[in-house]
Amino acid sequence: MTGPADILAAYSGAFNGDPGPPEPPDSEGVSPTHTLLAGAGNMAAHKRYPVLDWHRLFEGAADDVSWLVPEFIARGQSYSLVSPAKAGKSLLMLDVAAAIAAGRSALGHPAQAPVPVLYVDLENSRDDIIERLRDLGYDPGDLDALRYLSFPTLPPLDSPAGGRDVVEVANHHGAALVVIDTIARVVAGEENSADTFRALYRHTLAPLKAERRAVVRLDHRGKDAKAGARGSSAKNDDVDVVWQLSQSPGPDGEAYVSLRLERQRGNAHPERINVLRDVTPRLRHVAKDAPLAASERQRVGECIEAMKVLGLPVDIGRPRALKALRESGYKVRSDTVMAAVKARKMAANCPEVDGGMYEELFP
């Protein structure tokens, strides 16, 4: 059996210390962008490019964000996860991908129903993958929904053939999430060329997004930490959210991982997610909120009381809660409502862990 010391030794390298993209046509009420209809060349232009059906779209639209991992990854969104080499981004994403596929807790959040995940890996050896999955507590029977491509001989994803293949594979497996590790290894064009990433978006990312699949692509940070991902600045133009990952070692072998929001479309994601990478009783990543200042704790408590007065359900999301509070005359900040919503959900889902803390902080 692998012990904590063995796990720490194996991961010693991992413990070293705007305008968004254009929205592709949605799959509701319109044909996917990558599908070429038979005889399309003979069709009138208005038939080849159908407009959105507003009634269908409004009826099927969710009131709140649909999260695969709360605050970190939303369905249908495109992400860039950027860090220096050997900072542990592959390890974090493997943990998250396996948890989503197995229906287990991801980053410490309540478990959800399992969903298929496609992981395209041109970075990590198969031995490394198996060792990490064992340390994360998985057996082969847990991983049926984790569809893993290890060093696949795919055409470049900035080409029509590569994009077509990945989209077809994701469609075959019904993947809710596609992980690409790492982006530099799946493109043929120059990393410093904006054309490379425009082609990547056109051939791969846009068709995946049109099918409402979340995409997380891993990327290395440049020499200048403030400059973000290395290569062309156009890299970030075709994603919805950019997370910057950094970490610092703890005193007992654990690591503290920070996910800092560099940019996003909309305002659904928090400015920062703090994550503990622990090895006891097994390797895992757990989101840990920073302690609230007394003044903010009071504001969150007052917000929770207001939500109770209005009879808002415990499972309500931030957008609906914020709208209801403001329409009722409450002056509240978006981040305060987000903290209040999270506290109520956590207390309801994990009463044996969080109920006492919830009552103490937010009576």
State the DSSP string of 189-209: S-TT-HHHHHHHIIIIIHHHH
* Distances 209 to 22, 110, 121, 202, 266 between C-alpha atoms, Å: 11, 26, 20, 11, 16
Instruction: Give helix 334-349 / helix 318-327 axis angle, nearest 10°.
Output: 120
The secondary element (H helix, E strand) that includes residue 244 is strand 241-249
pLDDT at 55: 84
Q: CA 283, CA 306: separation in Å to the nearest integer? A: 39
- pTM for the structure as a whole: 0.76
Q: Could you check whether the bond before residue 182 is cis, i.e. omega within 30 degrees of 0?
A: yes
- Lookup: tokens for 131: 């060792």
pLDDT at 359: 42
- pLDDT tens string, the chain, 363 residues long: the values are 455 555 544 554 444 434 445 555 444 444 344 444 445 567 889 888 889 889 887 776 666 789 999 999 999 999 999 999 889 999 999 999 999 999 999 999 999 999 999 999 999 999 999 999 999 999 999 999 999 999 999 999 999 999 999 999 999 999 999 999 999 999 999 988 899 999 999 999 999 999 999 999 999 876 555 545 555 666 777 899 999 999 988 777 789 999 999 999 988 888 899 999 998 889 999 998 767 788 989 999 999 999 999 999 998 988 889 999 999 999 999 889 988 998 898 787 654 434 443 344 333
Q: CA 319, CA 317: separation in Å to the nearest integer? A: 6
pLDDT at 65: 83
pLDDT at 24: 53
E strands in 34-181: 67-69, 73-74, 78-83, 117-121, 146-150, 177-181
Domains and CATH numbers, the chain: 4-18+64-287 (3.40.50.300), 294-361 (no CATH)
Q: Could you check whether the bond before residue 22 is cis, i.e. omega within 30 degrees of 0?
A: no
pLDDT at 31: 38
Residue 194 C-alpha from the chain's centroid = 24
**Number of C-beta neighbours around residue 359 at 10 A:** 11
Q: How many helices (H) and strands (E) does the chain have?
A: 12, 11
Return phi, psi of residue 179, to 5°: -110, 130
pLDDT at 166: 98
pLDDT at 126: 96
CB burial of residue 136 (10 Å; 0-12, 13-18, 19+): buried
Reduced to 3 states (helix: H, G, I; strand: E, B; else coil), residue 242 is: strand
**Number of C-beta neighbours around residue 113 at 10 A:** 6
Residue 348 β-bridge partners: none
pLDDT at 334: 87
Q: Is the separation of the CB atoms in 312 and 324 below 8 Å?
A: yes
